[in-house]
Amino acid sequence: MLFLLKNTARIGSLVACVALVSSPAMAQNAERPDLQGVWTNASLTSLNRRDGVGTLVVSPEEARILAANVPVAGLEGGLDEGDGVNETPEEGKEDFGTRAYNEFWVDPGANLAMIKGEYRTSYVVNPENGRVPRLQNPNYDFERRNFGSRYATGFGDARGPEAIPNAERCLIGFGNKAGPGMMSALYNNTYQFVQTEDHVMILVEMVHDARIIPIFDSPEEARANRRPVELEQWFGDSVGWYEDGELVVESVNINPIQLSQSSIPITKEGRVIERFSRYSDDEIFYQFTVEDSNIYSQPWTAELSFYATEDRLYEYACHEGNYAMPGILAGARRLEMEEAARNQ
């Protein structure tokens, strides 16, 4: 697992963006919400509602109890007992390799997501059961290598660098941080929104992913100005427009490599529609709808909120000191040599 090195001495590349946010905010009107600033969507709520939880909205006390038992990095029981150190499993045990050396860098949030003053148990709001309505036999081959086991020692695919997940290769962040369909994850849940007259830029702290979305006067004009389908960009081809006080962003044609490792995949025929609006001075209400009959039995919708924060974005120095990938590949080649020697 990769961790952020928060080095306050190395934020020079962000000065230009910070300066933009420091300038007077663009005027907000009935048609265009002011989204500029630094925001966080950190929470312990997940996309799908957990088994045994019956309602979308819970009381503060129920939220506290549920949050205390949210799995972190796939481990039941949430974070440690308070000493800042996970108990390291014994070598050879089933859970060996699944915990970090400590939790210093892990910051998923302290409670369930609060959206418009309510604690939510899932991001999915439609269907009402809070579950993504995925087809049992989708008309698409996901080729989801490494999923469900990549945190466990010895189970990952190490045939070559291309077989290692995007996040471990420092290509893009994990957990759909940048979207389309932007959600919180284990750490680095900070975002910077910058608006100009004809673009919106969303900078994600994790892996410094950046979405640059051109803005048009109407959905028809936006769709008429899509990029060539051959490009297959990270985060898809996103175009936007303002409508009834919301920023609406429509995304298609996600990069196939990202698609195979995404928790919100769509095929060439699918699309993700995102809506951003200002619910209050310190809250952006965010909603996204996924439409793709090749994968899902119906369109489905998720909601979450971004909250204003005084934190600043730090450099995510993913490649520097990233010994994981060469170590994984070297170890795999060593095992292959040992196996070949035994078979001689």
| CA atoms of 28 and 159, how far apart (whole Å) | 52
Q: Say if residues 3 and 213 touch (Cβ distance below 8 Å).
A: no
Residue 16, classed as helix, strand or coil, is helix
Q: For residue range 139-191, list pLDDT tens digits in order.
A: 776 655 444 444 455 556 788 888 888 888 888 988 899 999 999 988 899 99
In contact, 120 and 113? CB cutoff 8 Å: yes
**Pairwise CA distance, residues 64 & 119, whole Å:** 10
Topology (CATH level 3) of domain 12-44+137-342 = Lipocalin (2.40.128)
Burial level of 339, CB count in 10 A (0-12/13-18/19+)? Answer: exposed
Please report the pLDDT score of residue 343 as a whole number.
93
Q: What is the pLDDT of residue 327?
A: 87
Prediction pTM value: 0.81
Give the per-residue pLDDT at 272: 97
**Count of other CB atoms within 10 angstroms of residue 196:** 11
Q: Which residues are within 8 A (CB) of 24 and not within 5 positions of it... i.e. 6 or more apart? A: none
Helix (H, G, I), strand (E, B), or coil: what is residue 284? Answer: strand
Number of other residues whose CB lies within 10 A of the CB of residue 285: 18
Checking if the pLDDT of 9 tops 60, the result is no
3-state secondary structure of 113: strand
**CA 24/CA 70 separation, integer angstroms:** 40
